[in-house]
Amino acid sequence: MMVGEATKDIDINIPKDAYDTGKHIPTFNAYLTIIVRDSKGRVVNIHRQRSHSPTANFMALFLPYNYYSQINGSLTITNIEGGTCSYQPQPNMNAYNIIYPNTNVSYTPPGYLVMIQVGSGQQSNPFSATNLLAPIANGSGTGQLVYGSVSTSSNVVVSGSSAYFQISQEYTNATSSAISITEIGIVVQVYTCSAAESSPTNCGQVLVWYDVLSSAISIPANGALTIYYTFTVNP
């Protein structure tokens, strides 16, 4: 082995295709953007940070069928109320699927098919989180925020070599005092049913993504807050 000055005497020719040309495996990132407006609609704060906290529930729902066949068992999904349900895909008519939308489930505020929930607590282990530590309720009472409608990208947006989609939601502080948020989570309504349309199960609202803010965000009295989750490939 040669180190130091001896390596300078070696004639090295590195092929051009060995250099970093940007043609590597696509990377995935998630970003959290928060825009705060005062009572007159003026932007008073813009906060942006990297989001990196899919929960155990999220990972479980993405496991392939062969995982379940190998363990010969099911997984337990815990919703934000602490209730549980069993999920086990199978290669037959009893196979369970997650079906959307479903007329048996109410998607009225704040119980959307997907929603962004905010809170005033924080947890040190986002992966194991099944709910927000101190969720802020939907309403106009003291300490509450009015949850607006959820918006999602109708299609994946492609720009050059990048592609992304967004989930966003607006909140209004209808009280006379400022309200601060420190935690944010994406919640989805999970409803399972077999391929034979038997044994339907409403798993409830499930936390699939959780973030603690790098600094608390204050919403002024009668102000508003808009949160954007952006999931992107090749950012």
Find out whether 214 and 125 touch, Cβ atoms under 8 Å: no
User: 225 in a domain, yes or no?
Assistant: yes
| Closest C-alpha to 181, from 137, 233, 115, 131 | 137
Calculate the CA 161 to chain-centre distance. 23
71: in domain: no
User: Does residue 108 belong to any structural domain of this protein?
Assistant: yes
Distance, C-alpha 147 to centroid of its chain: 17
Q: Look up residue 105 and give its two tokens.
A: 């489930």
Task: Flag whether 73 is in a domain.
Answer: no
C-alpha closest to that of 184 among 37, 51, 82 = 51
pLDDT confidence band for 112 (50 / 70 / 90): low
In a domain, 62, yes or no: no
3-state secondary structure of 79: coil
Domain count, the chain: 1
Helices (H), 29-170: 56-61, 65-71
| Whole-number pLDDT of residue 34 | 96
Per DSSP bridges, beta strands 224-233 and 28-37 are antiparallel
pLDDT tens digit string along 175-197? Answer: 999 999 999 999 988 877 766 66
AA letter at 198: S
Domain assignment of residue 13, yes or no: no
Q: What pLDDT is recorded for position 4?
A: 52
| The two structure tokens encoding residue 170 | 């607006």
Instruction: Answer yes or no: is 77 within a domain.
Output: no
Task: Tell whether 81 is covered by a domain.
Answer: no
107 pLDDT above the threshold of 70: no
Residue 14, pLDDT above cutoff 50:
no
- Evaluate the omega torsion of the peptide bond into residue 15 and state whether it is cis, within 30 degrees of 0: no
How does strand 157-159 pair with strand 224-233?
Answer: unpaired
Q: How far apart are the C-alpha atoms of 41 and 145, rounded to whole Å?
A: 16
To the question of pTM greater than 0.85 for the whole model, the response is no
pLDDT for the residue numbered 168: 94
Torsion of CA 53, 180, 229, 132, to 10 degrees: 40
Q: What is the number of alpha carbons within 13 Å of residue 173 lying toward its C-beta? A: 26
Query: Does 224 have pLDDT greater than 90?
Result: yes
Tens digit of pLDDT for each residue in 16-72?
454 455 555 668 889 999 999 999 999 999 999 999 889 998 888 887 777 777 777
Expressed as residue numbers, the domain containing 110 is 27-50+99-189+203-233
146: β partners: 172
For residue 173, pLDDT beyond 90: yes
Quote the pLDDT of residue 73.
Answer: 75
Distance CA 205, CA 161 (A): 34
